[in-house]
Amino acid sequence: MKQSQKRKINWSRFLSGVPAGDYIFQDISYAEQMEQASALIKEAGLILIGAGAGASSAAGLTYGGERFTRNFGEFIEKYGSMYMTDMYAAGFYPFPTEEAKWGYWSKHSMINRFLPPALPLYQQLYEIVKEKEYFVLTTNVDHQFQKAGFQTERIFATQGDYGNIQCEKGCHPKIYDAERLFRQMDQARYDCLVPSVMVPKCPVCGGNMAMHLRCDRYFVEDEDWHEAAGHYHDFLKKMEQKKGVLLELGVGFNTPTIIRFPFEKMVRENRNLSFIRLNMNEAFVPESFGNRAIGIGGDMAKVISDLYNRSSI
C-alpha cells in the first residue's frame, strides 16, 4: 500500500458518526510526518496514549506464525491445527475441563505476560513521554506499559491483565494475582493439562475461576479498575484546557468504541488537541482535522524508534 498517494477511503459500511469520505491517507512523505509528529509531541503539554493490539504485536508479542507454533506445538497437536491457528483463536477454544483450560491459559500467560521483559518499543515510548504529563489508555492486557516504567497511576488497562484471575461468574468484585499459580502450573503441566489440585476455585461461591479478561458480562471491575477509570477522566478534564496530543497506537476495529472513536471525537470537538495515529495498514485520518492530524502507516517499531531518536536531539 503506497503511503505517499492521497486516496479517499471508500468504506461504505464504516460506522463512527463520521462520513466515510472524510478519511484519507495523507499525501506527505514519511520524513515530513516524522518532523510534524515529533514537533507536536515536543510542544504538547499533555500526551494521551491510546494503545491497542497493534502496539504489542509491533513490539514483538505476535500471536500467530512461528512464535505460536514454537510455543504451542503440544496444544496444536492435541486440539488440532484447525482450531489452534494462533493465540487469539486458541483462547476461545472450548476446553473440555478446568485442567485443560488452565493448562492453556497458564502457558499463554507465561508466554505473553510473565516471561517477556519490557520490550524496546514500550521502553522507547516511555523515554519519549516520561518528562511529560502523560496518561495511557490501553486495551492490551500484557502489562508492557508497567514493565517499561510507566507509572501505575497513569495507566488505565480497561480490559484486564493476563496476570490476574477472577470468579468466572464475577460473584464478588475482587481479582487475584495468579503469577505464582501460573508458574507452578507451567512446571506441572503434562499433556497440556494441569493437575486437578492446582485448579483454582472461587473463595466466595466455590465455582470456577476465569482469566481477568473482558470477554463476557462477568468481567470484574474492582476498586483499582474504578480508581484508574477516575484517573483517566481527571486527565480528560485537564485536556479540555491545555494543548494536548492524542497518540493512538495500533488500534483496530475490534473494540473501536474504547479508544479509536472517542479519540477522534475529542479531537473533532477541541481545537487545542492534535492527533497522531500509528497503524500498520489503517493509518487514515479525518481530512477535516487538517494539520492537527498525522496518520503514519507501516512498522510501528520503526516509527517509535525514529520518534525516540528525534526526541533525544
Find the part of the chain contacting Zn ion (CB under 5 A) among 106-114, 197-205, 251-259, 294-302. Answer: 197-205
- Rule CB under 5 A: choose which of 40, 202, 258, 294 binds Zn ion: 202
- For 101, 102, 210, the CA distances from 200, given in Å and listed in that order, are 11, 9, 9
- Mark out the alpha helices in the chain (DSSP H runs): 30-43, 53-59, 65-79, 87-91, 98-109, 120-129, 144-148, 179-188, 223-239, 260-269, 300-311
Smallest gap from Cβ 201 to Zn ion, in A, equals 9
205 binds Zn ion (CB under 5 A): yes
Mark residue 192 as left, alpha or beta (left: phi above 0; alpha: psi -120 to 50; beta: remaining): left
The vertex-18 CA angle with 12 and 22, nearest 5°, equals 75
d(CA 142, CA 157) in angstroms, rounded, equals 10
222 binds Zn ion (CB under 5 A): no
Find the part of the chain contacting Zn ion (CB under 5 A) among 20-28, 124-132, 167-175, 303-311. Answer: 167-175
- Rule CB under 5 A: choose which of 1, 15, 39, 204 binds Zn ion: 204
Q: Which one, 199 or 303, has the nearer CB to Zn ion? A: 199
- Rule CB under 5 A: choose which of 167, 175, 185, 267 binds Zn ion: 167
Find the part of the chain contacting Zn ion (CB under 5 A) among 196-204, 225-233, 276-284, 295-303. Answer: 196-204
Find the part of the chain contacting Zn ion (CB under 5 A) among 97-105, 114-122, 169-177, 303-311. Answer: 169-177
> Do residues 139 and 155 lie in contact, with contact meaning Cβ atoms separated by under 8 Å?
no
**What are the residues binding Zn ion (CB under 5 A)?**
167, 171, 202, 204-205, 207
